[in-house]
Amino acid sequence: WRRWSKAFWFIEMLRKMSDENEELVKEDEEIGNISMDATYCKVHRTACSMVAHTGELGRLIDGTKGGKNTKLHAVCDGKLRIFDIHLTDGSASDYKGAEVLIGRLPKWGKRLLADKGYDGDQVRKDARSKGLTPCIPGRKNRVKTIRYNKKLYKQRNKIERAFGRIKDWRRVGTRYDRCPEMFLSACALAAIVKFWL
- Which pTM was predicted? 0.90
CB contact set of 145 (below 8 Å; sequence gap of 6+): 138
Q: Which residues of 31-57 are buried (b: 16+ CB within 10 A; e: fewer)?
A: bbbbbbbbbebebeeebeeeeebeeee
The span from the CA of 5 to the CA of 9, in Å, is 6
pLDDT digits (tens, 9 = 90+) for 52-68: 555 556 778 877 777 88
pLDDT digits (tens, 9 = 90+) for 109-158: 899 999 999 998 999 999 999 999 999 999 888 888 889 999 999 999 99
The span from the CA of 66 to the CA of 64, in Å, is 5
pLDDT digits (tens, 9 = 90+) for 78-111: 889 999 999 998 888 898 899 999 999 888 889 9
Report the Cα 147 to chain-centroid distance in Å.
24
Q: Which residues of 155-173 are buried (b: 16+ CB within 10 A; e: fewer)?
A: bbebbeebbebbbebebbe
